Amino acid sequence: MTARMAAYQALLHLEKRRIHPDELLRSILSRYAHLSSVDKAFATELVYGVLRWQGRLDWHIGRLSKVPLEKIDFSIKVILRLGLYQLLFLDRVPSYAAVSEMVKIARSTHSRHLSSFVNAILRRASERSSDEWDWPDVAKEPIKHLAVMTAHPEWLIEKLLKTMGYDEVEAFCRANNIVAPLVLRVNRIGREEVIQWLKENYPNTSEITPTRYAPYGVIVRGLRADISETEIYRAGFIQVQDEASQLVAYLVDPLPGERILDLCCGFGIKSAQLASIMNDRGEIVAVDVASWKLEALRENMARLGISIVRPVQGDVLELDPNRIGFFDRVLLDAPCTGWGTVRRNPDIKWRSHPRSPWRMSNLQKELLDRAARFVRPGGILVYSTCSVFFDENEQVAFNFQRNHNWKEISPQGLLEKVFVCKEEAATFVDRGFFKTMPHLHGMDGFFGAVWQKPK
Ligand SMILES: C[S@@+](CC[C@H](N)C(=O)[O-])C[C@H]1O[C@@H](n2cnc3c(N)ncnc32)[C@H](O)[C@@H]1O
């Protein structure tokens, strides 16, 4: 087994099954103990690189092959994408190695005829310099140009152009291709202590700095270890959580002793943070439809030393206040297309359907209506997503506002309470809503709306 073969297997799996690339890689790589950490890192880079640049790699295949892309067997397509990624994006891999190693994989898994096809395409690619490709012309085909250059589906670009200018769409797509840092939230310990510990134990890490806005966040780049294997992680001193996700908890702004409802809690990343803001005093009812996620949530709470989170398995649409009561604050962190997290989940680009945002939007409106029933008079409702689409964000919030005469709370004041640079809070607010974007804030794209129920 080589790193390239492991990457090939992972990408084949991802074509067939909807599974998180990280989870899959962890399981594939754990089966090959003989692979060095350098090999494992290379396999990971190949998988993420191909997922990130898939649309562009397919465009190259289309320019090089006489057989139309749709007619090429998907496993051969995976081999070609892997080869082209090494040839066109990785300077440190010599061309002959990229071609010959991928042809070897093709030979061991496919017929002679198909491995010759792989050989021919990759050789042709290796002989071309970047100015020998007939790139789509920005003036004649601006959408196609952006789609190919930044490896995003054309429908996404067309959709974003309805609410954003061309330059901004381009900046967003480019930011999506930048590898996101690992972001931690510290728990029950000072942020400086965590930074110091990481610096002492992993001195080769390229960056370990505090987050600029979230008061308990740490940004880590170039860590040569699996964070979940570290002592500070096992001891419950850290939680992996993007800075934008950390900021959502400050929109909820819970107080110690209150009753909080976390709807669609997933693994409880936000429940844990809310509990920590509340000094583990009060009650958080955390609801999710997926019982396996609640199992992970329980383990996570035990690791973090949190006792006030009570997991409840159920569908929010069928949940009844007679069963769980009313709450001071309700967070609906709704299921969404996840387009704000493409830096971390590049496969979203190719899995998403053009109608997915619209479908999600309908579900989100229903969920939000249901969530409102659990808020006590005078209580707070927060709606959040990790999407960047108007349909899933503003449209859902406007729809709620049309149907409910609740007071809109501006996120600015809530963020000013926690930001060191208070004047920057305004840059996170758009039309009265909380909004982050990777190209503007260097964080995942999140949306948040806050309302207060009349007394
Ligand atoms: C955006 S994720 C939640 C992330 C989580 N709040 C966090 O901070 O890590 C959305 C979650 O909604 C759950 N979900 C989707 N539809 C649901 C429904 N009708 N009722 C309850 N949970 C649902 C999914 O299982 C998923 O865990």
d(CA 315, CA 290): 9
* Residue 30 in this model has a pLDDT that exceeds 90: no
pTM above 0.75, yes or no: yes
Q: With pLDDT > 90 as the criterion, what percentage of the chain qualifies?
A: 92
Residue 338 lies in a domain: yes
Q: What does the pLDDT read at residue 330?
A: 98
CA-proximal residue: ligand 1, atom 2 (nearest) = 335
Q: What does the pLDDT read at residue 135?
A: 96
Cα(312) to ligand 1 centroid in Å equals 12
Residues in CB range of 370: below 8 A, 6 or more apart: 316, 317, 319
Q: Which of 394, 386, 379, 400 is nearest to 452 (CA)?
A: 379
Together in a domain, 293 and 430: yes
Cα(272) to ligand 1 centroid in Å equals 15
What's the whole-number mean pLDDT along residues 209-233?
Answer: 95
* Residue 15 in this model has a pLDDT that exceeds 90: no
Together in a domain, 317 and 428: yes
CA-proximal residue: ligand 1, atom 7 (nearest) = 269
Residue 441 lies in a domain: yes
* Residue 31 in this model has a pLDDT that exceeds 90: no
Together in a domain, 427 and 290: yes
Together in a domain, 390 and 262: yes
**Domain end marker among 156, 176, 196:** 176
Together in a domain, 83 and 151: no
> Please, what is the angle between helix 394-403 and helix 356-372, to 10°?
40
Residue 137 lies in a domain: no
The number of the ligand 1 atom at minimal distance from the alpha carbon of 264 is 12
Together in a domain, 70 and 197: no
* Residue 225 in this model has a pLDDT that exceeds 90: no
d(CA 126, CA 143): 27
The number of the ligand 1 atom at minimal distance from the alpha carbon of 262 is 6
Together in a domain, 317 and 395: yes
Together in a domain, 315 and 354: yes
* Residue 285 in this model has a pLDDT that exceeds 90: yes
* Residue 307 in this model has a pLDDT that exceeds 90: yes
CATH number at residue 61: 1.10.940.10
pLDDT tier, 1 (very low <50, low <70, confident <90, very high otherwise): confident
Together in a domain, 90 and 205: no
Supply the range of the domain harboring residue 153: 142-176
CA-proximal residue: ligand 1, atom 1 (nearest) = 335
Mean per-residue pLDDT over the chain, rounded? 96
CATH number at residue 191: 3.30.70
Task: For residue 222, count other CB atoms closer than 10 A to its CB.
Answer: 12
What's the whole-number mean pLDDT along residues 369-379?
Answer: 98
Residue 81 lies in a domain: yes
Reported as a single tens digit per residue, the pLDDT across 155-207 is: 999 999 999 999 999 999 999 999 999 999 999 999 999 999 999 999 999 99
The number of the ligand 1 atom at minimal distance from the alpha carbon of 290 is 25
Together in a domain, 214 and 108: no
Total structural domains within the chain: 4
Q: What does the pLDDT read at residue 375?
A: 98
The number of the ligand 1 atom at minimal distance from the alpha carbon of 367 is 19
Residue of 239, 241, 251, 289 to test ligand 1 pocket, by largest number of atoms within 8 Å of CB: 289
The number of the ligand 1 atom at minimal distance from the alpha carbon of 248 is 8
d(CA 175, CA 156): 15
Residues with CB under 6 A from ligand 1: 264-267, 269-270, 287-290, 293, 315-317, 333, 335
CA-proximal residue: ligand 1, atom 10 (nearest) = 335
CA-proximal residue: ligand 1, atom 15 (nearest) = 335
Together in a domain, 206 and 294: no
Cα(127) to ligand 1 centroid in Å equals 48
Together in a domain, 165 and 189: no
